[in-house]
Structure 1
Amino acid sequence: SISLLDFENGWEITNSPMSFMPLGKLRMPETSAAGDVSHGGKKHLISFKHAGPGRRVLNARMDNFGPGGAITAHIELFDEPEDSMVICTPFDKPGHFYYNQKINCMRAEGEVSYNGVKYVFDPSESFAVLDWGRGVWTYHNTWYWGSASYHVDGVPFGWNIGYGFGDCSAASENMLFYNGRAHKLSQVKFNIPGNEKDFMSPWTFTSDDGRFEMDFVPMLDRAACTDVKLIKSDQHQVFGRFTGKAVLDDGTVIEVRDFPGFAEKVENKW
C-alpha cells in the first residue's frame, strides 16, 4: 500500500495492490533487527531494506498510482532511538497473537515524486515511525492507534497510543518517547465525536492516570475501504494537530501545541 497526503490542499491518494494467499512467499523476517521485505508485480514495487545498524531504506514505485500517473519514492530512516515499544498481545481465541514493535522518532531523508512534483524530506524536520508486526490474527477485529514523532525545543519527542487489537488487560502499548528514552503510560481513551463516526470534528484523548491529556484537531481523514465480501478493511486514519500535555516518568510535564500526528480507527475482516 502507498499513500500520498497533501495537508495544504486537503487531498490524499491511497493505492493498495493485494495478493491473495501468499503462503509464505514474501519470506517475512522473524525480527525487525534483520531481514528485508519486498512486494511487487508488473506495475509496482515496494521494499523495506536494512542498510546497517539503525538504518532502513524504503523504495517504492507504482505505475498507475493516481490521476497524475506514476509515483516513485526513496526514503532513508536513521538515527534509531535507544528505546522502542515492543509487545506481544494475546487474543481470546487460542493460538492467536500479535507481536509488534513501534520505533518512533526516526529521522527521515529522501524524496517522493508524483505528478511532476518532488516532495523532499529534510531530516532536521522530518520524522518517521516504523511499524513492524507478525502474528496470527482473529478474522474480525477493530483497533485504535495513534502516533506522533517530532521535536519539542529541539529534543525528539513522540508517542504511541492504542488499544482494541487483542487483550490488553495485562499491559498497554501506550508510551511516550523523549530524547530516545521510553516512558510507560497506563490506559488512554480515544474520544471520537458523533458516536465514533464524525472523524473530522475535534477529538479528545484522556488517560486514567492523567499523564496524557490532549485535544486533537483533524486536518485530513485518510479514509479507505476495501470490501471483497470475505475480506474487508475499513480505515479512518486521521491526521491532525495535538495540543495538551504529557507527563514523563519523573514527573516532568511536556506541553505541546499544534503537534503533528495521527490517530485511527480500523476495522478488519481477513
Structure 2
Amino acid sequence: EQTDEQTGGGGTRLVGAIPRFAFDLVAERPAGHQAMGVVVPWHRRTRRDTRCATPIPCFQYTVKDVARPAHGVLVIDGGRHPVEAAWAVLDHGRGRWPYRVRWNWAAGSGRVDGRVIGLQLGSKWTDGSGATENALVVDGQLSKISEELHWDYDPADWMRPWRITGQRADLTLTPFHRKHGSTQALVIASRTDQLFGTWSGWVRDDRGERIDVGGIEGFAEDVTNRW
C-alpha cells in the first residue's frame, strides 16, 4: 500500500494504491473557504471515562473541513472511473488522546437552492469540555454552533433515522448504507458503525437565518476506541 498527501495550491491531492484499486483525487479549497478548528482538553481528575494514562495533559486539536469540491479518478480492476461533481470532507488532527474514548461524528455536503451547504457535527468526546465541534458552512462561510446538540439513534437498529437537535438545529439523517468495522487485539480495540445517508432539516446560521439542508448527502458514526 502506498499513499501520499500534498497540501497547497488551492487544494489537497490524495493518491493511493492497493491490489485491484487505486485513486488520484483532488479536494479543492476555493478562495475564502472556511473550516472549523477546535482544541478539546480533558481533565485527568474529572473525566474518569476518558482519563489520561500519563501525567502529560491530554488534548486534541482538530480541523474538520466540509463541502470541499472533489474530482479525480478511481481505478478498479483496471477500469478507470472519473470522479466529478463530488464532495470531500477532510479531518486534520493533532494531540494526545486518552486510552479510552468514544465519539459521534457526522458531516454532509451538497447544494440546496443554489448554495453550497456543509454540515459538521460531533458529540461525546467533547462533552463537558466547554468546546464543541458543531458548524454550518454556507458558500464557504462558517457559522459556529457552540451548544451541545442532542443525538438520538438506536444501536440495536443502526439503519433507523438519526436525529440531531438543539436550539439552532433540527436534523435527520436517513441511512441507505451501513459500514461496520471492529478490531480486538488485547489492550487495543476499536469499533466503528458508520451510516451513510441523506440529510433533511435545518440549521440557523450566525445571522439567525434558517438554512434548509434537505437533500445533501453525508454520514454519521458511533466510534469506540481503546488505544
Per the normalisation by structure 2, the TM-score is 0.88
What CA RMSD, in Å, does the superposition of the two structures yield over aligned residues?
1.6
2: CA distance, partners of 1:167 / 1:257: 27
Note the 1:30-69 alignment, pairs <5 A. 44-52=1-9, 54-63=10-19
Residue type of the alignment partner of 1:236: D
Q: How much identity, in percent, do the aligned residues show?
A: 29
Distance 1:174 1:121, change over 3 A: same
Q: Any unmatched runs of 5+ in structure 1?
A: 1-43, 64-69
Partner of 1:92: 43
Partner of 2:34: 83
For 1:5-26, what per-residue CA distance to the aligned partner results, in whole angstroms no more than 9, with x for missing partners? xxxxxxxxxxxxxxxxxxxxxx
Deviation at 1:231, TM superposition (A): 1.2
Q: Secondary structure at the match of 1:46?
A: strand
Distance 1:100 1:218, change over 3 A: same
1: CA distance, partners of 2:184 / 2:81: 31
Residue type of the alignment partner of 1:79: R
The answer on whether the counterparts of 1:89 and 1:167 sit within 8 Å (CA) in structure 2 is no
Q: Secondary structure at the match of 2:98?
A: coil
Q: Any unmatched runs of 5+ in structure 2?
A: 45-55
Distance 1:224 1:163, change over 3 A: same
1: CA distance, partners of 2:171 / 2:72: 31
Residue type of the alignment partner of 2:12: R
Deviation at 1:136, TM superposition (A): 0.5
1: CA distance, partners of 2:214 / 2:103: 26
Deviation at 1:118, TM superposition (A): 3.5
1: CA distance, partners of 2:77 / 2:17: 13
> Does residue 50 of structure 2 align to residue 111 of structure 1?
no
1: CA distance, partners of 2:169 / 2:120: 11
Moved over 3 A (4+): 115-119, 166-169
Per the normalisation by structure 1, the TM-score is 0.75
Deviation at 1:166, TM superposition (A): 4.3
The answer on whether the counterparts of 1:146 and 1:263 sit within 8 Å (CA) in structure 2 is yes
Q: Comparing both chains, which one has the higher relative contact order based on Cα–Cα distances under 8 Å and sequence gaps of 6 or more?
A: 2
Distance 1:87 1:218, change over 3 A: same
Residue type of the alignment partner of 1:73: F
Partner of 1:17: none
Distance 1:166 1:250, change over 3 A: closer
Partner of 1:147: 107
Greater strand share, structure number: 2
Q: 1:204 aligns with which of 149, 157, 163?
A: 163
Deviation at 1:154, TM superposition (A): 2.5
